[in-house]
Amino acid sequence: MRKPFICGNWKMYKTNAEAVAFVNEAKSLVAGATDVDVGIGAPATALKSLADAAKGTNIMVGGENCHWEKEGAFTGEIAPGMLVECGCSFVIIGHSERRQYFGETNETCNKKAKAAIANGLTVILCCGETLDEREAGKTTAVVTDHVKNGLAGFTPEEMKKIVIAYEPVWAIGTGKTATPEQAQEVHAVIRTLLADMFGKDIAEATRIQYGGSVKPENVKEIMAQPDVDGALVGGAALKPDSFAKLVNFKA
């Protein structure tokens, strides 16, 4: 059985103080969700305070990006070990905003994900098509490209630390959610691909989150799909009560 993973992606929102206030309010609201993994991806500047505030709760804290080197002359970058030291247990890699605005490629995602796992982090590897690509019938090709090349050379052991997030770019921050059926269709494609690459057992064990305008109002029907194992949530994860409703989707 795959344990659902509901994860916020705060993007470039929340200062230290705001992050701590969020956790202090949210922790009791999500404490009952013991059969769900709960995470928040936050800006690097808030990670240490956030992780300290989340100690002893069921909220995991993660970075939104990392570099693949351990250290070096890479101004502005953050090494995986630095995330670990701040109290992070996971990192989001290859979000479409990073691919679109910061030049991330499958190759850099692959290097980042490998380095993150080598440092003990779980990796949420994002994939997803744009509206043009969907309308041109390229959804499967694009998602296959992201997953296949993002995970090139991964060992079965490394795959235990991988979570995939399918995030159609046209559904991110737009209010346009993929229908549960559209999500399921692509998730099934990804699981079949994982089976081809790593075998059936690993494909069955790997969690695939959906992301793109997930809200308390639609989380239940999305999570009801057989191949949807969690959600990666931007806007609706910025307020404690809304975040708690997502985490408590079974209630």
Site for ligand PGA in 201-240 (CB under 6 A): 211-214, 232-236
The C-alpha atoms of residue 61 and residue 104 are separated, in whole angstroms, by: 23
Out of 131, 173, 200, 204, the residue judged to bind ligand PGA by CB under 6 A: 173
Residue 9 binds ligand PGA, judged by CB under 6 A: yes
156 contacts ligand PGA (rule: CB under 6 A): no
8 is an interface residue for ligand PGA by CB under 6 A: no
Task: With CB under 6 A as the rule, give the number of residues binding ligand PGA.
Answer: 13
Concatenated DSSP letters for 14-79? --HHHHHHHHHHHHHHHTT-TTSEEEEE--GGGHHHHHHHHTTSSEEEEES---SSSSSS-TT---
Nearest approach, Cβ of 218 to ligand PGA (angstroms)? 11
Using CB under 6 A as the binding rule, whether residue 100 contacts ligand PGA is answered as no
Q: Which stretch binds ligand PGA (CB under 6 A): 52-60, 130-138, 166-174, 243-251?
A: 166-174
Closer to ligand PGA at the Cβ: 4 or 235?
Answer: 235
- Whose Cβ is closer to ligand PGA: residue 37's or residue 167's? 167
Which member of 64, 104, 167, 227 binds ligand PGA (CB under 6 A)? 167
Taking the least distance from each CB to ligand PGA, the nearer of 80 and 94 is 94
Cα 209 to Cα 3: distance, rounded to the nearest angstrom = 11
Cα–Cα distance for residue pair 54/57, rounded to 1 Å: 5
Residue 172 sits in the site that holds ligand PGA (CB under 6 A): yes
Nearer to ligand PGA, 59 or 178 (CB): 178
- Report which of 37, 38, 34, 1 is spatially closest to residue 226, judged by C-alpha positions: 1
Q: Kindly tell me which of 40 and 79 has the beta carbon lying closer to ligand PGA.
A: 40
Structure tokens at 12: 């470039």
Residue 73 Cβ vs ligand PGA, minimum distance, rounded to whole Å: 30
Q: Which residue is nearest to ligand PGA (CB)?
A: 234
Residue 182 interacts with ligand PGA (CB under 6 A)?
no
| Residues identified as active-site | 95, 167
Smallest distance, Å, CB 10 to ligand PGA? 10
Which positions lie near ligand PGA, rule CB under 6 A?
Answer: 9, 167, 172-173, 211-214, 232-236
